[in-house]
């Protein structure tokens, strides 16, 4: 399809991004504030020859997406906090079986049922540590309707490239805001497909990685026979309780992500060159921060922003360098402080100031401006 410009909502931009990325399977369950993604997919998937399937719960939704992925279809699910909690089991299965899958979480107020119609950023840590065991995932954090599209495309590409579940973590405000969306000409989109095996089927080892630590992925129903399991497995895919295999596998599953941070991490540096105060933000609070920075600069305060478009794997090196560049760092988050702790871990001993707001209304520009002035006076 040629380039198009439409005025639309973040959730719909996300769905269109998925379709442009080649997603042809959506498994979901209705949940506010992510339902618009499912509704849009219910109409659009059949139009592009794909499938929208509504399941009995979020556990089935994500698990079916894993099945579709192993049958060779780019697959996704979308949900919000309560559904994300149910999905954590299969996030671990996707990590262990190295299944490409995209999980969108339009974050609402929690814990529990919380505030379904109101935004928050309370699930950022859950995305990283929600399933049991040690592992790495990728988490992207859009802050606009356009980024809902762009980062969803990117989520599919990264998921295919590294055979890892990728989260799109958007707060409800980003999911429901309406802005201009430019859908690029499909010829201009760079899409990535998973590596497939080329060896003779008798030589195929389903979990033997390449130099990039990612194994080529055979599909179900092909000449390649294999066993994929959530159990710790060797290169043949066979279960084992060996210490050596467990250590090798778990290390590789993390390393295949961590070794490629240069390719995965995505940040925007806004007015940081001469800054002595930095704001680290993502999602909706970063939009308020941008306005506050302009206002503060009008009053002669050198402040800038490191905007995280990806939070997992955490940009440790970039934040560490930021810590040595500026006098103070402010972290406004729509939660009780999550990424704040990551910033503190890597930017210390630079003072880190947390602005919490675990509620539907994000930090307003004026509130951030006041905080900048307060920190500036220290």
Partner 1 sequence: MTTAPATLVHPMSKYIREDRLPWIYCPGCSIGIATGMIVRAIDNIGLDFSKVVFVSGIGCSGRTSGYFKTGTFHTTHGRAIPFATGVKIANPDLEVIVVAGDGDLAAIGGNHLIHACRRNIDMTVVCINNWNYGMTGGQFGPTTEHEKLTQTSPPPIGNMEHPFNLIKLAASSGATFVARWTAVQVRRGITSIEKGIKKKGFSFIEIVGACPTAYGRMNKLGEGVDMHKHLLEVTDIQNGLPPHEAEIEYDKRIVCGEFVDIEKPEYTDVLKQMHAKVRK
Distances (CA, A) of 334 to 19, 99, 357: 29, 31, 5
How many residues sit in the footprint of partner 1 (CB under 8 A)?
A: 47
**Does 89 sit near partner 1 (CB under 8 A)?**
yes
**Does 86 sit near partner 1 (CB under 8 A)?**
no
Distances (CA, A) of 285 to 57, 137, 148, 323: 31, 23, 16, 20
Among 69, 141, 310, 338, binds partner 1 (CB under 8 A): 69
99, 74 contact by CB (below 8 A): no
**Does 49 sit near partner 1 (CB under 8 A)?**
yes
In angstroms, rounded to a whole number, what is the distance separating the alpha carbons of residues 309 and 142? 6
Per CB under 8 A, contacts with partner 1 among 190-219 are 218-219
Q: How far is the CB of 241 from partner 1 (least distance, A)?
A: 12
Per CB under 8 A, contacts with partner 1 among 91-150 are 92-93, 97
Strand bridging mode 74-79 / 23-28: parallel
Q: Which stretch binds partner 1 (CB under 8 A): 59-67, 154-162, 262-270, 309-317?
A: 59-67
With CA atoms as reference, report the closest residue to 285 among 293, 273, 275, 276. 293
With CA atoms as reference, report the closest residue to 141 among 261, 284, 241. 284
Rg over alpha carbons for the chain, rounded to the nearest Å, is 21
Among 8, 20, 35, 63, binds partner 1 (CB under 8 A): 63
With CA atoms as reference, report the closest residue to 291 among 360, 367, 226. 367
Cβ proximity to partner 1, 97 vs 120, nearer residue: 97
Cβ proximity to partner 1, 60 vs 278, nearer residue: 60
Distances (CA, A) of 126 to 7, 144, 171, 266: 32, 22, 14, 20
Among 39, 51, 85, 208, binds partner 1 (CB under 8 A): 51
Q: Which stretch binds partner 1 (CB under 8 A): 23-31, 270-278, 284-292, 341-349?
A: 23-31
Instruction: Map tokens 């405000």 to a residue.
Output: 173
Cβ proximity to partner 1, 63 vs 286, nearer residue: 63
Cβ proximity to partner 1, 245 vs 261, nearer residue: 245
Per CB under 8 A, contacts with partner 1 among 218-237 are 218-231
Which residue ranges make up the site for partner 1 (CB under 8 A)? 24-25, 27, 46-47, 49, 51, 53, 55-57, 59-61, 63-73, 75, 89-90, 92-93, 97, 218-231, 238-239
């Amino acid at each position: 399809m040629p380039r198009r410009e439409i005025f639309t909502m973040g959730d719909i931009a996300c769905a269109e991004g998925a379709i442009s990325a080649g997603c042809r399977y959506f498994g979901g369950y209705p949940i506010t504030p992510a339902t618009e993604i499912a509704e849009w997919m219910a109409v659009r998937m059949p139009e592009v020859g794909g499938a929208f399937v509504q399941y009995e719960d979020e556990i089935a939704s994500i698990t079916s997406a894993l099945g579709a992925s192993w049958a060779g279809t780019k697959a996704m699910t979308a949900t919000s906090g309560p559904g994300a909690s149910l999905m954590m089991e299969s996030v671990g299965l996707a990590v262990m079986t190295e299944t490409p899958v995209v999980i969108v979480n339009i974050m609402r107020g929690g814990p529990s049922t919380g505030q379904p119609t109101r935004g928050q950023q309370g699930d950022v840590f859950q995305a990283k540590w929600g399933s049991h065991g040690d592992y790495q995932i990728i988490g992207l954090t859009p802050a606009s309707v356009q980024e809902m599209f762009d980062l969803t495309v990117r989520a599919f590409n990264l998921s295919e490239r590294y055979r890892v579940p990728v989260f799109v973590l958007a707060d409800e405000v980003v999911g429901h805001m309406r802005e201009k969306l430019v859908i690029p000409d499909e010829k201009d989109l760079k899409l990535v497909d998973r590596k497939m095996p080329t060896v003779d089927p008798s030589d195929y080892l389903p979990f033997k990685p390449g130099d990039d630590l990612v194994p080529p992925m055979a599909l179900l129903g092909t000449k390649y026979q294999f066993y994929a399991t959530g159990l710790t497995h060797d290169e043949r895919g066979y279960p084992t309780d060996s210490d050596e295999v467990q250590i090798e596998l778990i290390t590789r599953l993390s390393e295949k992500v961590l070794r490629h941070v240069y390719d995965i991490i995505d940040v925007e540096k806004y007015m940081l060159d001469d800054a002595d105060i930095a704001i680290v933000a993502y999602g909706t609070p970063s939009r308020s921060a941008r306005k506050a920075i302009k206002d503060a600069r009008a009053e002669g305060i050198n402040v800038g922003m490191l905007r995280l478009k990806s939070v997992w794997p955490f940009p440790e090196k970039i934040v560490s360098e930021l810590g040595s560049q500026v006098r103070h760092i402010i972290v406004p988050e729509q939660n009780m402080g999550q990424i704040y702790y990551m910033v503190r871990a890597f930017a210390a001993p630079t003072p880190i100031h947390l602005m919490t707001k675990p509620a539907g209304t994000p930090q307003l520009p004026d509130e951030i401006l006041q905080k900048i002035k307060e920190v500036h006076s220290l």
